[in-house]
Structure formats: structure tokens, C-alpha cells
């Protein structure tokens, strides 16, 4: 093969660049035969980009798929990831549109190309974080409605008295992006005043509007809450058992996580590791019933392991916070209704008037229909009163609102250490079951001489 020289024509250089891009893009193999209970997806590519594993797992999370088992391996130049995936009902993937979307999303290897298919480039993103209070979300949506801003998508998390929102908005009258900069600045100013509320307690209230779309609202909320240092306000009942040990011979820190299995658990853990600038070189995930075990062999971006007790403790707190953010105490309300200006302001006002607090919310719009999910509690944080929920049902329409039991508190796990050794920063899960699983795969890949 003759490599291009400086005299090569522009056309040839473009072809060469396409070849290089094609070689670096992930190679995806989807196997629906080898495993009876899950679809196996293998992704491998050459990449030195920080967060490459995070991007792969984000694709799976965005499609609302579940990872039942997985292992990862990365040598700084080439990564190989294997996932056992099911749909949200625990079944193998048989929908050709889902399989095609999964393969195409991996092939692009580009967040922007994924975003271009959603139409998000026509919209504007609003990010909010501040102290939560009864009726705050209703006031936020009322401000947007007053300025004729439609909410296309919304994700809201509430944790330890703080609320974080990522909202995608457009012009409610035309369905196009809000191009008027003065109008956007007015909206931003009013939202900031709403968040500040009582000026004596307006700690860290921020409202920002950006014309740039985000690839994942969940990903952005993790970043906002980490920057807000929510991990410093941890609850006594930790949502996960997290331990960190040192594998000095190989220069790794070994991170173990055990907790209740739930959707997007792996995504949430990797968000924390990526945002803290750690690289996952090897790892494994295994689930059994409602229990999940994860183990990661990590280093800093500069190749060094975790170096101090204080850093280990911080990593443990950040991971527990990342897992806890998606916890949704309360009753789940699901509403599908024709989209119309101010619908979210009206619904959230009704919740407020009936003494219900929103602990988490997700909104999505498809065509002329808006799908809304709220998790609600009573005004004091106690379970919602049935009469209040019934009043909301009557207002929105009994046939439109579905009431489901909430996810409740994350189950606490009492884990025993392996061999009586307890690791820094949490319960010592040790290099036990998952450690052998990881090492076996490293041995099979030729990355270590022996896994014994």
C-alpha cells in the first residue's frame, strides 16, 4: 500500500481520512444465539479518548436497555467490551429497529451524529440547580409558559433538598428554536429569581440557557450535581456498598460496588468515574435477581492509582451519591396527554395545590403527545395521601393518569468482607467472585500470564 504524500490530491486525502476514520470506529458484533437469556453485544476499537467506555454504555442507557453481565478490557490503545443485554422486561432483543439503532449508534462513535437524528438541534437547553421547595417546579414551568416556551424534554432530580433540572425547550407557537436572544435572557433572569426565592438562603442557585443540545440529560445532571458537591451531603443509609483496594503489582486501584440492581446502574457508576477523571482498564458486571455486583480496575488519567485514604473516601462518597441520585421515593404518576401550551405548568400547579412534592420527573414529547412521569410524596416527605392523588386524577382525567407504587428506598445491603479483610472507604468486597471473573477474561485476552 502506498501512503499519501504531501502532493496527494485533496480527493485522495479525503479517501484516506475516511479509511482511517473507518478503522478507528468501533466494530460491533450482535449475537442473539450464543446466550439463551440475553443478547450479546461485542464492541471493540482503537481509541485513546477519555470516556470511550462511558459513550458505549450511554448508547445502551439511552435505548432503555439493561446490562445483565459485562466485562471490559482496555490497554490504553484498544478496548474490547462485551455486554449481555436485555430489554426493560428482561427479554432478549428481537426488535430489528432496536438492533439496528444499537449498531448504528456504536458505528458512528459520535455524540453529535446521534443527536442530529433527534431533532434537538432545533431546540434550546435550560439547566437549573438550587434549593428545592414546595411548588418550585410549578413556578419554573409557569415562567416558561409565560414566555411561550414549550418543553420538549425534561429531566428533574431532587436530592437532599437540592433540585437539578435539564430542560429542552422550543418556541411553543412555532415549534422551532427560540432565536430571540433578548427573550432568552429574560427567561434566564426570571428563572434565576425563582430559584433564589428566599434571598437569605439562595445558596448556589444557577440558571443557564444554552443553544447547544446535550447528548444525555441524565449525563448532564450527574455533572451538575457533582459540581454542586452533593456527595458531601450523604445520607446515613448508603445506597451501595463500595470498597477500594490496591493491586500494587499491576498499578491498579480495584473498585467494587454491590447494591440493588436497577435500570441504568452501570451508566450512573461510570458517569461518576469519568467525571472524576478515572480510566477503567478492566472490569466486570454481574447481576443475580435484584442484586448487582460491579468491579473495576482503574487509574487516573495520568496512569497512577488512587494514592491516599482521603481520595479513596471521596471516591466512595461520589459513587454512592451517583447511585443515589436516581432513587425516587414516592408514588409514580404516569400521564400521557395531547401536547398544548402550558400543560406542564397546569399539571405541576395541580400537584402543588394538592400538597404533593415532586421528587423526580421525566418529560418527553413525541409528535402531538407528551408523556410525563412524576414521583410524588406528601408535603412533609411522607407517603402521598390517596385523596390527593385521586384529586389529581380527576383533574387530568382518570383514564389518562396511571398510578404505580414508587421505587421506595434503595435496599441496604449488609455485606461481609472476604477473608476478614475490610477495605478503605467501605465494606471490603475484595478480589473475590468478580475479581476471578475479571482475571479469567484478562488471561483469555492474553493481557496477563496467569489468572490464578
At 4, the pLDDT band (50, 70, 90 cuts) reads very low
Residue 202 has pLDDT above 60, yes or no: no
- Please answer whether residues 77 and 99 qualify as being in contact, where contact means their C-beta atoms are separated by less than 8 angstroms: no
Top mean-pLDDT range of 26-35, 72-81, 135-144, 417-426: 135-144
pLDDT digits (tens, 9 = 90+) for 65-74: 999 999 999 9
What's phi and psi for 348, nearest 5 deg? -70, -30
Nearest alpha-carbon partner for 188 in 165, 162, 210, 208 = 208
> Fold identical between 28-116 and 120-212+328-404?
yes
CATH of domain 120-212+328-404: 3.30.70.260
Higher pLDDT, 92 or 431: 92
- Please answer whether residues 73 and 442 qualify as being in contact, where contact means their C-beta atoms are separated by less than 8 angstroms: yes
Nearest alpha-carbon partner for 132 in 62, 74, 202, 193 = 202
Specify the pLDDT at position 153: 95
What's phi and psi for 327, nearest 5 deg? -60, 140
Cell 432478549 locates to 92
How far, CA to CA in Å, does 411 sit from each of 239, 258, 323, 324? 7, 11, 12, 11
Percentages of the chain per state (helix, strand, coil), in multiples of 5: 35, 30, 35
At 113, the pLDDT band (50, 70, 90 cuts) reads very low
| The 252-260 sheet, strands edge to edge | 27-31, 39-46, 78-86, 66-74, 278-288, 291-300, 252-260, 240-247
Determine how many CB atoms are found less than 10 A away from the CB of residue 429. 28
What 3-state class would DSSP assign to 408?
coil
At 97, the pLDDT band (50, 70, 90 cuts) reads very high
The 8-class DSSP code of residue 341 comes to T
Looking at domain 28-116, its CATH architecture is 2-Layer Sandwich (3.30)
Domain layout of the chain by residue ranges: 28-116, 120-212+328-404
What's phi and psi for 137, nearest 5 deg? -65, -35
Half-sphere exposure of 357 (CA within 13 A, CB side): 20
Amino acid at each position: 500500500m502506498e501512503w499519501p504524500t504531501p502532493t496527494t490530491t485533496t480527493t485522495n486525502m479525503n479517501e484516506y481520512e475516511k479509511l482511517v476514520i473507518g478503522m478507528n470506529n468501533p466494530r460491533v458484533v450482535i449475537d442473539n444465539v450464543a446466550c439463551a437469556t440475553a443478547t450479546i453485544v461485542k464492541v471493540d476499537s482503537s481509541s485513546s479518548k477519555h470516556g470511550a467506555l462511558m459513550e458505549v454504555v450511554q448508547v445502551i442507557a439511552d435505548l432503555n436497555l439493561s446490562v445483565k453481565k459485562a466485562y471490559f478490557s482496555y490497554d490504553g490503545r484498544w478496548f474490547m467490551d462485551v455486554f449481555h443485554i436485555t430489554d426493560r422486561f428482561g427479554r432478549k432483543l428481537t426488535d430489528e429497529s432496536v438492533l439496528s439503532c444499537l449498531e448504528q449508534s456504536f458505528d458512528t462513535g459520535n455524540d453529535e451524529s446521534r443527536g442530529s437524528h433527534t431533532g434537538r438541534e432545533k431546540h434550546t437547553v435550560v439547566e437549573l440547580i438550587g434549593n428545592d421547595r414546595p411548588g418550585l417546579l410549578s413556578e419554573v414551568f409557569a415562567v416558561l409558559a409565560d414566555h411561550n416556551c414549550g418543553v420538549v424534554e425534561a429531566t428533574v432530580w431532587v436530592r437532599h433538598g437540592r433540585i437539578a433540572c435539564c430542560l429542552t425547550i422550543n418556541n411553543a407557537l412555532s415549534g422551532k428554536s427560540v432565536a430571540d436572544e433578548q427573550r432568552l435572557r429574560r427567561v434566564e433572569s426570571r428563572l434565576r429569581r425563582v430559584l433564589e426565592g428566599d434571598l437569605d438562603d439562595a445558596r448556589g442557585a444557577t440558571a443557564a440557557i444554552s443553544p447547544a443540545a446535550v447528548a444525555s440529560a441524565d449525563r448532564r445532571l450527574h455533572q451538575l450535581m457533582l459540581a454542586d458537591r452533593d456527595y458531601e451531603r450523604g445520607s446515613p443509609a448508603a445506597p451501595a456498598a463500595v470498597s477500594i483496594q490496591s493491586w500494587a503489582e499491576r498499578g491498579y486501584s480495584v473498585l467494587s460496588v454491590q447494591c440493588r440492581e436497577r435500570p441504568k446502574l452501570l451508566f450512573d457508576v461510570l458517569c461518576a468515574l469519568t467525571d472524576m477523571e478515572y480510566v477503567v482498564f478492566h472490569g466486570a458486571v454481574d447481576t443475580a435477581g435484584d442484586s448487582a455486583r460491579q468491579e473495576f480496575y482503574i487509574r487516573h488519567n495520568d496512569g497512577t492509582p488512587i494514592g491516599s485514604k482521603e481520595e479513596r473516601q471521596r471516591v466512595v462518597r461520589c459513587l454512592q451519591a451517583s447511585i443515589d441520585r436516581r432513587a425516587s421515593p414516592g408514588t409514580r404518576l404516569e400521564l400521557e396527554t395531547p401536547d398544548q401550551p402550558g400543560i406542564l405548568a397546569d399539571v405541576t400547579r395541580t400537584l402543588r395545590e394538592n400538597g404533593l412534592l415532586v421528587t423526580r420527573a421525566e418529560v418527553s414529547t413525541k409528535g402531538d403527545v407528551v408523556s410525563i412521569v412524576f414521583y410524588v410524596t406528601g408535603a412533609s416527605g411522607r407517603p402521598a395521601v390517596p385523596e390527593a392523588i385521586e384529586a389529581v386524577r380527576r383533574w387530568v382525567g382518570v383514564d389518562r393518569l396511571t398510578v404505580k407504587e414508587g421505587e421506595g428506598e434503595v435496599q441496604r445491603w449488609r455485606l461481609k468482607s472476604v477473608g476478614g479483610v475490610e477495605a478503605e472507604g467501605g465494606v471490603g468486597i475484595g478480589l473475590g467472585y468478580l475479581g476471578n471473573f475479571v482475571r479469567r477474561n484478562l488471561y483469555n485476552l492474553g493481557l496477563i500470564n496467569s489468572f490464578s
